[in-house]
Amino acid sequence: MLYLFLRGAIVAALLGLASASAIGAPQPGPPPEPRFDRLRALEWAPFAQSFGALSDERAAAIDALLRKATILDVQEAMKPGQGEALTSEQLTLFFLSRIRQHDERLHTYVELNPAALDEAHASDTRRRAGALRGPLDGIPVSVKDNIETAAPMRTTAGAEILLDNVAAKDAPLVAQLRAQGAVILGKANLSEFAGVITFGPMNGGFSAVGGETVNPHGHYPSSGSSSGSAAGVAALLSMVSVGTETSGSLIGPSGWNGVVGMKPSRGLVNGEGVVPLVRYNDSAGPVGRSVRDVAVLLDAIDTATVNYASGLRAEALDGVTVGMLNRDIAASPENTPLLQGVSASLLALGARARPAELALTSDWGNNAMFLTYLSGGIRHDMMSYVAARARAVKTVEDLVAYNAAEPRRRIPSGQDLLAMLAPASAQMSAADYAAFAARLRRAATGILESAFRKTGAKVLVSIGTAHSPLYATAGYPAITVPLGLRVKGGVVEPPGVSSLGMPAGVTFIGKPGDDARLLAYAYAFEQATNLRVQPELR
């Protein structure tokens, strides 16, 4: 009985299923102190001589601007001739100063880019010459540490075994950011190997290299695996961030940290150079404090020629049929007030709400099938990457043994999840894994398509990550928009803490290729509700 109970709790946490509640709770207390240190301290020497260049008055003015500003607003403030125009160097110094002030407690970064100020200076030079490369030129961006960056920054996926792994080149999406003038602030913390080692004491957001990511809104889980991306953006430690999702890994932490996060359609963002977990699901995507910023960042990292920001309209939901996944959302009574608030907002925007259901099939089955799929990804995708870069291991079992040989350093929060998942694919060949992945993708696609077809909906509405395994496996896009803070708290399992005052998010699920339309729907909802809460840090 105890084993089954623990196993069920692990499954629920893996899929991001947590209690949700209503909108508008009072501001909670400060976040707790982290319980685990980084393996490698953030390096401040490259910036030490520069911090004095940013006065307290200038920092306060930048802070006031960023509380509400989008990337496009910041670009306007950096235009020459706008009074005392903001510079990219000042903006970068502002974020670095906040990281120095707050990140020893929040642990949203694994490593800083020692060339960040040089990149900002180069952007300011281009701006003065009238040679800007686009809306991200001079904008500080963080990148999740399972996305490859060229030397001197490392790519660790949060794992001690990759502590000194330096990629030969930038991942294509990082190269695209650099080509457009973005300032790479550093590498964001994450759930180790995208969430398959341990949940840590606060359910996700924990890595051996980066320690435990702390939710800036208070004593709540940060979720995972893109915890550092979401918490860092929420805490004003970066303008925007690039995270990744396998199943809920972007949507979950974005919702729980009170920001916007988007998992694009499969293949829209080049996945080369991303440490794989389940290559058929894995997708990089943007995290920001507004839908507009997410749209601008997606435009910078995708492989399409779409200006997403230009298509954002406050009336985009007027006359649109939305499929409400009411039964699944209301499976927990604490979700009912939240569902009522979302429904009322959609109706006020002119949307036509229709009840929708996701009828599971035998080919999809139950959570155990998805865990087997995840185990196959660990064995055949993740370990292929690790084995090519770490001579000490070749298989999942080797990695478990390697970690166990020096647990205080390599697995300070344990590796029970990895040990539980590994056996499920012990007899699964690479061909078996590929066939199983294709089967699950067809099943997930059929389930979602049936819901869209039966309701005539253009978008499905969910809460949190309740439906992440389906949309992520099918390759459908999804985006979460803040719903404020919860006023009716349940218990988040694990770690068994109250969700009272914790951020919540509504999730919109679109059809493949409808990323621009999905962003427009999310923007319309965001503009009408305006429920994001900025955490106040000491």
Q: Please report the pLDDT score of residue 28 as a whole number.
A: 53
Q: Which of 144, 187, 458, 511 is catalytic?
A: 144
Q: Which of 225, 227, 241, 290 is catalytic?
A: 225
Q: Which of 249, 254, 290, 462 is catalytic?
A: 249
Q: Please report the pLDDT score of residue 350 as a whole number.
A: 98
Query: DSSP secondary structure string, 113-128?
Result: -TTHHHHHHHHHHHHH
Q: Please report the pLDDT score of residue 494 as a whole number.
A: 73
SS3 assignment for 364-399: CCCHHHHHHHHHHHHHHHHHHHHHCCCCCCCCHHHH
Q: Please report the pLDDT score of residue 431 as a whole number.
A: 98
Q: Which residues are CB-neighbours of 64 under 8 A, at least 6 positions away?
A: none
Q: Has 144 been annotated as catalytic?
A: yes
Q: Has 458 been annotated as catalytic?
A: no
Q: Please report the pLDDT score of residue 506 as a whole number.
A: 97
CATH of 51-311, one of 3.90.1300.10, 1.10.1740.10, 3.30.70.260, 3.40.640.10: 3.90.1300.10
3-state helix, strand, coil in the chain (%, to 5): 40, 15, 45
pLDDT in tens, 299-324: 999 999 999 999 999 999 999 999 99
Q: Please report the pLDDT score of residue 172 as a whole number.
A: 98
Q: Please report the pLDDT score of residue 183 as a whole number.
A: 99
What letters, b where the CB count within 10 A reaches 16 and e where it falls short, cover 355-369? ebbbeeeeebeebeb
Q: Please report the pLDDT score of residue 33 as a whole number.
A: 67
Low-confidence ranges of the chain (pLDDT < 50): 1-27
Q: Has 249 been annotated as catalytic?
A: yes
